[in-house]
């Protein structure tokens, strides 16, 4: 998705969902590393964080969905993520009314979490 395609569609925002498979288990189980990912991602896509990054570990209710969840408000919307301990998969969503390059997000996310592969879904919001 290029900036010209974004503008041609008269988009109000862009959503990129990234499914990362077989991530480094140590990284997705470390709240500080998850926060580092968010801080670096915000720098890379040139968005401004609003408030602190929240990272919460969910483990008590269901082993199948245990893992960290993350949310970071940004001045142009938000970034969220879910990190599944059982599968070592991660699910990242970035929504912004400011254009960013989804390919940059996917590449950085895959490298940061040392994922074996990634599936992306890009949605323009109008």
User: What is the pLDDT, as a whole number, of residue 9?
Assistant: 82
Longest CA–CA span in the chain (Å) reads 47
User: What is the pLDDT, as a whole number, of residue 11?
Assistant: 87
- The ranges assigned to domains in the chain are 3-8+22-125
pLDDT digit string (tens) for 35-44? 999 999 999 9
DSSP alpha helix (H) spans, 3-126? 3-8, 25-28, 31-44, 102-112
User: What is the pLDDT, as a whole number, of residue 110?
Assistant: 98
User: Which of the residues in the chain have pLDDT under 70?
Assistant: 60
User: What is the pLDDT, as a whole number, of residue 1?
Assistant: 76
User: What is the pLDDT, as a whole number, of residue 3?
Assistant: 85
Q: Which CATH architecture has domain 3-8+22-125?
A: 4-Layer Sandwich (3.60)
Q: Residue 84: name the closest of 108, 61, 57, 121 by CA.
A: 57
User: What is the pLDDT, as a whole number, of residue 59?
Assistant: 78
What CA–CA distances, in Å, run from 50 to 22, 59, 73, 78, 101? Answer: 30, 27, 5, 9, 20
CA pseudo-torsion sign 30, 19, 7, 11: negative
Q: What is the pTM of this model?
A: 0.93
User: What is the pLDDT, as a whole number, of residue 106?
Assistant: 98
DSSP state of 49: B
């Amino acid at each position: 998705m290029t900036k010209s395609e974004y503008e041609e569609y008269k988009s109000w925002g862009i959503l990129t969902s990234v499914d990362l498979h077989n991530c480094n288990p140590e990284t997705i189980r470390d709240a500080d590393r998850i926060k580092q990912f968010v801080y670096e991602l915000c720098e890379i896509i040139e968005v401004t964080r609003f408030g602190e990054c929240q990272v919460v570990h969910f483990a008590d209710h269901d082993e199948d969905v245990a893992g960290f969840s993350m949310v970071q408000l940004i001045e142009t919307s938000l970034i969220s993520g879910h990190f599944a301990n059982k599968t070592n998969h991660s699910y990242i969503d970035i929504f912004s009314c400011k254009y960013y390059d989804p390919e940059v997000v996917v590449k950085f996310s895959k490298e940061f979490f040392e994922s074996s592969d990634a599936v992306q879904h890009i949605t323009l919001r109008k």
